[in-house]
Amino acid sequence: MPEVFREFGFVFFFYANEGNEPMHVHTRKAGGFAKYWIEPIELEFSQGMKVNDLKIAEQLITDHLELIKAKWYEMSMIVQSQIKMIINFMRIPCDL
């Protein structure tokens, strides 16, 4: 669960293995959580978060948009690299 940033009691993060979903970020605060699409910024779902906290989270996403995008691409590159390593490993004949 790579963390992107923390601010005002919110934690913004990604899950490392979510398939091919469009760019998005998760956030949690005080037992509640939410997921936002990034382009455009839009609430996907939330549970246990106050309406005011959802508005603050959306503003924080707007304020940190470039950081979120950079971290998303960084994470995507790491995952792709790991997949390539696994594929290459599986192609190597093993003499046991």
Q: Is residue 67 part of a domain?
A: yes
Domain count across the chain: 1
Alpha-carbon distance values, 1 to 11, 19, 59, 89, 92 (Å): 11, 14, 22, 25, 30
- What's the pLDDT score for residue 95? 60
Among 31-35, 43-47, 83-87, the least confident range: 83-87
> Is pLDDT of 76 > 90?
no
Task: Kindly state the DSSP code that residue 21 receives in the 8-state scheme.
Answer: P
The span from the CA of 76 to the CA of 51, in Å, is 31
Q: Is residue 96 part of a domain?
A: no
Q: Is residue 86 part of a domain?
A: yes
Q: Is residue 78 part of a domain?
A: yes
Instruction: Give the burial string for 48-60 (b: 16+ CB within 10 Å, else e).
Output: ebeeebbebbbeb
36-57 residue pLDDT tens: 999 999 999 999 999 999 999 9
Tell me the residue range of the domain where 25 lies. 3-91
Q: Select the more confidently predicted residue: 89 or 30.
A: 30
State pTM to two decimals: 0.80
